[in-house]
Amino acid sequence: MTVLQRAEALALKTVLALPQPIQRLAAGRALVREGQTLATEHQLTMRLMRMSGEPSLESLPIPEARRLLRRQTRLAGGDQPIGAVRDLPVGDRNGRLYVPTGATSPGPLMVFFHGGGFIYGDLDTHDPACRFFAEHSGVRVLSVDYRLAPEHPFPAAHDDCVASYRWVVEHAESLGADSARLAVGGDSAGGALAATTALAAAREDLPLAFQLLIYPMTDLRGGSDSRQAFNRRLIITQEFMDLSDECYLATAADITDPRASPLLNDVPDGLAPAYVVTAGFDPLRDEGEAYARMLADAGVPIELRRFPEHIHGFIHVVGVGRSGRASMVEIADRLRAALV
């Protein structure tokens, strides 16, 4: 980090460490919708962003927005401890392996696909979250850097993620992984890619023990109530989702391709158990929960956990504040229970 970035991170950490009553005064009147109250930390952070003139990602040229996202996640994620970390090739893609302190070999491993609307995100934007997951769950995490749109539209990201998982199965021993305790995981667009990778693994009879789907994008057709209710001023806007579709989908028909919209899949036999996380104030909430219901109706072991106080992107907020970190501990504990 630069000196300025360190100062920004310290300021944000200081503000979000203030007592709750003071944060509430600074954030303004509580935002309540559908019986849910937005976490004061989120409301205060968004107010500070607006006051500082922080631009939205979709308002910037894509290269500039990608740099902004990396800066934002460094500020919110902090410097998370980890036993060991190293970059390595995952087939023809770049990857980063996080090994928790005290990990034994062979041990469980989660292949993680980052979010970012298929156009943003990389190994660095999700570095704090992956460090946190690995260290707090005791599970190795292998983050994969798939190709992004608009340079590489659908189905490039899907193909990269499935190919990466096949590579992991073939090279589990070199990663210190137990092939009987492999998982896939991801957030947002990465949640969609984790879901379709899990579906492909079941169809190809590849070993997969668990899938962790964090506020996944599952239906690119849109139209859900939550997409209408929470598409303004809550991180993910309608303009962001429209840009994602415009950049990612090569043709109009792609929007209903099951590889792009997991909710439109038939559920194959042998699909891995899933833990689906949604956020109460997230446009993608309803489609994530619809996907969980579809899996449950098909007999897949499924646990759905809605965090009603959160917005989209809360997994990045592990270096500041309290509520996001506490929720991440809960998710990491669930990952540990499934694999360790």
Catalytic positions are 188, 282, 312
95 contact partners, CB below 8 Å, separation of at least 6 = 87, 88, 89, 123, 142, 143, 144, 145, 164
User: Are residues 44 and 51 in contact, defined by beta-carbon separation less than 8 angstroms?
Assistant: no
Question: And the tokens for 78?
Answer: 């902090």
Instruction: Give the HSE-up count for residue 11: Cα atoms under 13 Å, Cβ half-sphere.
Output: 11
Instruction: Find the helix or strand (DSSP H, E) in which 70 lies.
Output: helix 62-77
Q: 163 — phi, psi (to 5°)?
A: -65, -40
Cα separation of 320 and 161, whole Å?
Answer: 31
User: Are residues 316 and 131 in contact, defined by beta-carbon separation less than 8 angstroms?
Assistant: no
- Pairing status of strand 93-99 against strand 84-90: antiparallel
CA-to-CA separations, 234 to 3, 28, 237, 279, 282, in angstroms, rounded? 29, 15, 7, 11, 8
Distance of alpha carbon 86 from its chain centroid, rounded? 21
- Whose structure tokens read 């937005």? 38
- Whose structure tokens read 């410097």? 79
